[in-house]
Amino acid sequence: MTRRLVAGYLILTLVVLVVLMVPLGITHQHNLQQDLLLRMERDAGVVASLVQDDLRDPTAANQRRAAEMARGYAGESGARVAITGPAGVVVYDTDPAISGVRSLASRPEIRTALGGTVATGSRYSQTLDTDLLYVAVPVAASGTVYGAVRVTYPTSEISERARDYWLLLLGVGAITLAAVAIIGWLIARWVARPLAMLEKKAKAVGEGDLSARAPEDDGPPEVRALAHRFNVMVSQVEALVGAQEAFVADASHQLRTPLTAMRLRIENLGAGAGPAGETDAEAAIAEVDRLSRMVDSLLALARAERREATVAIVDVSEMVRDRADAWTDLAAESGVTVDSDVAPGLRVRLADGVLEQVIDNLVDNAVTASSDGGHVTVGASLTGDSVQIVITDQGPGMSPEERQHAFDRFWRSPRSTRGEGSGLGLAIVHRLVAGAGGEVRLDAAPTGTGLRAVVDLPRS
């Protein structure tokens, strides 16, 4: 954002500079030409008045004196001076293109001057192969024209002066752009920094961190007001979500006692109700047990969402091996074997109890999905900058559509072999892993049957 703002400032400044400086440069060049023409006309008039007597009496001595005057002026001004007689024949030329006697009567400015009128302007000289500024004035007295004085100046001199002025304008423009870039960067940073922080906090809130707050004391008043409204909104959302999570946790906790009491009463009723009553009692107890597990899962999910435990370094290698060993005997009761394949030295930063709960839920699902004689593998390895934990089973697996919904709350696969599942185990895993900054997914097993649960956690 800072770059875009600075670029906008520079483009706007550049447009303003072009709009101002281009007409200024063109006007300056035009004024240079007009000022030079005025000076040339004035000087040509002075020279004409000085050689007037010499041209009225064109003796050799007078012509030499006129030539000296012309050379003196040409030496001081750098201009070319040509003096002609009444017929346009050159009396003296400070920079003759060719030697010998020649006539300038064909030149338009000389014809105009010999006609008694001052001629000024610019034209291309074929003889000199360059553009010239010229002033031609008549040398006259008492209404009689005795000749003309022409002063010419190459336009290249004007172009050089104009170029110097253009370079000056470019220098001023460059300094202006540099100043605007520095000042614009400071202003843009003042505006963009709090907005970037606000965006960062909004992203954190979107990822579930409702404790994120934007700074309210930085940036323009509008940005500070926006940050304040954002913080108020997040506080309200946090209060609503907290109330919802607290309700789920409290309700789950409070339901455990009446469910336990209900189970005991059903057991007592079933004991004296005969064979048919015992069958119904066992079915009711099974439903109560299922409801109890669901309540426990809801309580675990609420705790996972509200987890604020201290983060510490966890030895993944040791933890995975311990949990695999802990499940070995329990899985053997269902005819399922569990083994581990763990790389040494794997460590991540996690809250206390997170990794155990994640592994236990995934291994529990894998063992339950596996049939008698099945095999579950728990592995851990280093993949790039992540520690990857993989639990593979040999159960019926899931279709791609089913895997997309597997982490939804209360969703259960139609292929599930356990009717009493709550449908919250994978939702809890997903919440715990996401809270640790990791990712979890379900893939098809490489053997073609079964499921492969993959957990990627940032390496510490």
pLDDT at position 338 is 93
Instruction: Enumerate helices (H) and strands (E) in the chain, giving the number of each.
Output: 10, 12
Rg (CA), the chain: 50
pLDDT at position 390 is 94
Q: Which domains does the chain have, with CATH numbers?
A: 2-160 (3.30.450.20), 221-303 (1.10.287.130), 309-458 (3.30.565.10)
Lowest mean pLDDT among 323-337, 399-413, 430-444: 399-413
Say yes or no to pLDDT of 259 above 80. Answer: no
Give the residue-averaged pLDDT of 296-317: 67
Q: Which one is predicted more confidently, 412 or 45?
A: 45
pLDDT at position 455 is 94
Residue among 116, 135, 162, 137 at smallest CA distance from 39: 135
Give the residue-averaged pLDDT of 107-133: 84
Q: Structure tokens of 292?
A: 């109890």
Q: How many angstroms separate the Cα of 134 from the Cα of each of 30, 137, 150, 177, 377?
A: 15, 10, 7, 40, 101
Residue 64, Cβ neighbours under 10 Å: how many? 12
Q: Which residues pair with 257 in a beta bridge?
A: none
Q: Structure tokens of 199?
A: 């965006």
Band of residue 102 on the pLDDT scale cut at 50, 70, 90: confident
Lowest mean pLDDT among 149-153, 190-194, 325-329, 440-444: 190-194
Residues 35, 243: Cα–Cα separation, whole Å: 85
Band of residue 419 on the pLDDT scale cut at 50, 70, 90: very low
Q: Structure tokens of 393?
A: 């089973």
> For the chain, what percentages of helix, strand and coil (3-state, to nearest 5) are there?
60, 20, 25
Q: What percent of the chain has pLDDT over 90?
A: 16
pLDDT digits (tens, 9 = 90+) for 202-223: 888 877 777 888 888 887 888 8
Mean pLDDT (the chain) is 82
Q: How many angstroms separate the Cα of 269 from the Cα of each of 258, 272, 285?
A: 16, 6, 11
pLDDT at position 244 is 73
Residues 451, 357: Cα–Cα separation, whole Å: 19
pLDDT at position 371 is 84
pLDDT at position 280 is 75
Say yes or no to pLDDT of 440 above 70. Answer: yes
Lowest mean pLDDT among 9-13, 276-280, 376-380: 276-280
pLDDT digits (tens, 9 = 90+) for 32-78: 888 888 888 888 888 888 888 777 877 777 777 777 877 887 877 77
Give the residue-averaged pLDDT of 179-204: 86
Is 277 within 8 Å of 269 (Cβ atoms)? yes
Give the residue-averaged pLDDT of 195-202: 86
Q: Which one is predicted more confidently, 78 or 180?
A: 180
Q: Structure tokens of 148?
A: 């003309």
pLDDT digits (tens, 9 = 90+) for 2-38: 778 788 888 888 899 889 888 888 898 888 888 888 8
Say yes or no to pLDDT of 175 above 90. Answer: yes
Residues 340, 317: Cα–Cα separation, whole Å: 10
Residues 136, 110: Cα–Cα separation, whole Å: 6
Residue among 73, 72, 41, 67 at smallest CA distance from 54: 67
Band of residue 99 on the pLDDT scale cut at 50, 70, 90: low
What's the angle, vertex CA 51, arms to CA 46 and CA 56, rounded to 5? 135
Residue among 331, 343, 324 at smallest CA distance from 381: 343
Say yes or no to pLDDT of 83 above 50. Answer: yes
